[in-house]
Amino acid sequence: MKNVIVFPATRAIPAAAEGSDTTDLAVVIPTYNEHDNVETLIAALDTALGGIRYELIFVDDWSQDGTADLVRSIARTRSDIRCISRFGRRGLSSAVIEGMLSTSADIVAVIDADMQHDESRLGAMFDLVMRGEADVAVGSRYREGGGCGEWSARRVQISRAATRLAQLALPNPITDPMSGFFVIRRDIVVELAPRLSQKGFKILLDLLMSAPKPLRVSEVSYVFRTREAGVSKLSTAVMFTCLIMLLKKAVGRWIPMRLAAFLTVGLLGLGVHLGVLRLALLAGWSFTVAQAMAVTVAIAFNFSLNNAFTYRDRRLKGFRILAGLASFYAVCAVGAAANVGMGSLVYAAGHRWWLAGAAGAVAGSIWNFAMSSWFTWRRR
């Protein structure tokens, strides 16, 4: 039988907070369908943060399982718990930022509601920032003493690969820049807020990459725990959005986020294009016919990824997908003509097949982005 935690009608104010309304720490907890974890997490944080003047801010993205209702029912008896309900928008990063900006506490923390972060490490992380030893204290899975718990070998490999990629983009060495468990001074968040992409799940990485000068970071090791309730929000879309953010930060403010995503999809599509082209050439088809086939397949591939990721906020569903695909083919027709023509010219000039294919693919990319934004995924 599952343990049920009953909250008393009143709650004693932590000793450190007696006689004062000041809040030293605000713990921001983004939620989406985390009803079964709420009471357990609150009880765990109450134990971990004893002696600290704190408040818990749940930022809920319109959960359908009663998460927000449960938090509000608890908050009626506790002034140190609040719930921000968001409708019509969703995303972990933007939820965290909204929660951080809603408090008057000087220091803010971020922790997931799924109980996978070790809340007992929050006190040590808070002390590092409170004493001025760090601007940011990060819970690290990869520092000595930390770990990924019961993750599969494949998931560990993917996580470490993403971590190494993120580390290349940062000026200072951090073992776990992809962590979603950290403590930071609120004034830093306020300063960096206009620079943040607010996309994806990796808000810490966004903060570190957006700072005009390197932030002082200390890391506290912890072991990642296994989720006991709810469903993981980690998906391919999350990892892809993170990759787009890294690309966007790398190229600076000159390329819009959506264009960066479109170009990244285009690079993946180029791989598909070249693969189909190579197979068709091996089958004995002429280059012109093989290039046309590769273009056709690559356009369908690019449409699928762009619909799922690049234009996620305008995603086409149902029968609109078919109309959208037809529109995308029509938009890309001019680009495809330039693609085939350019590729054929380069190939006829004696260059290698892959260079000819790449030249053709690049020729129509900007046209495809501009026109598809207007016709295929036009905001309604």
Q: What is the pLDDT of residue 236?
A: 54
Q: What is the pLDDT of residue 17?
A: 41
What is the Cα–Cα distance from 255 to 221, expressed in whole angstroms? 36
The alpha carbon of residue 41 and the mean position of all alpha carbons in its chain are separated, in whole angstroms, by: 23
Query: φ, ψ for residue 179 (rounded to 5)?
Result: -65, 145
Chain segment 223-250, per-residue pLDDT in tens: 999 876 655 545 455 566 666 666 666 6
Residue 99 lies in a domain: yes
Q: Which two tokens stand for residue 331?
A: 């938009």
pLDDT tier at 199, thresholds 50, 70, 90: low
Looking at the structure, tell me whether residues 189 and 326 fall in a common domain: no
Nearest to 353 by CA among 287, 296, 289, 295: 287
Residue 273 lies in a domain: yes
- Higher pLDDT, residue 196 or 68: 68
Strands 54-60 and 81-85: parallel
CA atoms within 13 A on the CB side of 343: 30
Mean pLDDT for 265-276 is: 91
Looking at the structure, tell me whether residues 187 and 317 fall in a common domain: no
Contacts with 283 (C-beta within 8 Å, 6 or more apart), sequence order = none
Residue 330 lies in a domain: yes
Looking at the structure, tell me whether residues 68 and 169 fall in a common domain: yes
What is the Cα–Cα distance from 205 to 248, expressed in whole angstroms? 12
Q: State which residues form the domain around 293.
A: 255-374
Looking at the structure, tell me whether residues 163 and 264 fall in a common domain: no
Chain segment 318-354, per-residue pLDDT in tens: 999 999 999 999 988 876 776 777 778 778 887 777 7
Residue 283 lies in a domain: yes
Looking at the chain, the number of H-run helices and the number of E-run strands are 13, 7
> Domain tally for the chain?
2
Looking at the structure, tell me whether residues 115 and 198 fall in a common domain: yes
Residue 2 lies in a domain: no
- Higher pLDDT, residue 272 or 346: 272
pLDDT at 374 over 50: yes
Residue 272 lies in a domain: yes
Query: φ, ψ for residue 151 (rounded to 5)?
Result: -60, 150
Q: Which two tokens stand for residue 65?
A: 């399982």
What is the Cα–Cα distance from 344 to 356, expressed in whole angstroms? 7
Looking at the structure, tell me whether residues 170 and 293 fall in a common domain: no
- Higher pLDDT, residue 134 or 355: 134
Q: What is the pLDDT of residue 221?
A: 98
Looking at the structure, tell me whether residues 161 and 59 fall in a common domain: yes
List the CATH number of the domain containing 62.
3.90.550.10
Looking at the structure, tell me whether residues 102 and 60 fall in a common domain: yes
Residue 314 burial by Cβ neighbours in a 10 Å radius (0-12, 13-18, 19+)? middle
pLDDT tier at 10, thresholds 50, 70, 90: very low
Chain segment 12-28, per-residue pLDDT in tens: 334 444 445 689 999 99
Residue 345 lies in a domain: yes
Mean pLDDT for 177-188 is: 96
Q: Buried (b) or exposed (e) across 175-199, using 16+ Cβ within 10 A?
A: bbbbbbbbbbbbebbeebeeebbbb
Q: Which of these three, 199, 231, 263, is where a domain ends? A: 231
Residue 271 lies in a domain: yes
Q: What is the pLDDT of residue 6?
A: 36
DSSP state, residue 178: T
Q: Buried (b) or exposed (e) across 256-278, using 16+ Cβ within 10 A?
A: ebbbbbbbbbbeebbebbbebbe
Mean pLDDT for 257-275 is: 86
Looking at the structure, tell me whether residues 130 and 46 fall in a common domain: yes
Mean pLDDT for 66-81 is: 97
Q: What is the pLDDT of residue 231?
A: 58
Chain segment 276-310, per-residue pLDDT in tens: 999 999 999 999 999 999 989 999 999 999 999 88
Q: What does each C-alpha distance from 125 to 39, 107, 137, 318 come to in angstroms? A: 23, 11, 5, 47
> Is 82:60 a contact under the CB 8 Å cutoff?
no
Looking at the structure, tell me whether residues 304 and 225 fall in a common domain: no
Q: Which of these three, 184, 215, 231, is where a domain ends? A: 231
Looking at the structure, tell me whether residues 138 and 261 fall in a common domain: no
List, in sequence order, every beta strand (DSSP E) within 315-371. none
Q: What is the pLDDT of residue 52?
A: 96
What is the Cα–Cα distance from 167 to 164, expressed in whole angstroms? 5
> Is 109:182 a contact under the CB 8 Å cutoff?
yes
Chain segment 93-124, per-residue pLDDT in tens: 999 999 999 999 999 999 999 999 999 999 99
Mean pLDDT for 124-151 is: 96
pLDDT at 4 over 50: no
User: Is 27 strand, coil or helix?
Assistant: strand
Q: Which of these three, 231, 266, 293, is where a domain ends? A: 231
Looking at the structure, tell me whether residues 203 and 280 fall in a common domain: no
Mean pLDDT for 21-47 is: 95
Q: What is the pLDDT of residue 13?
A: 38
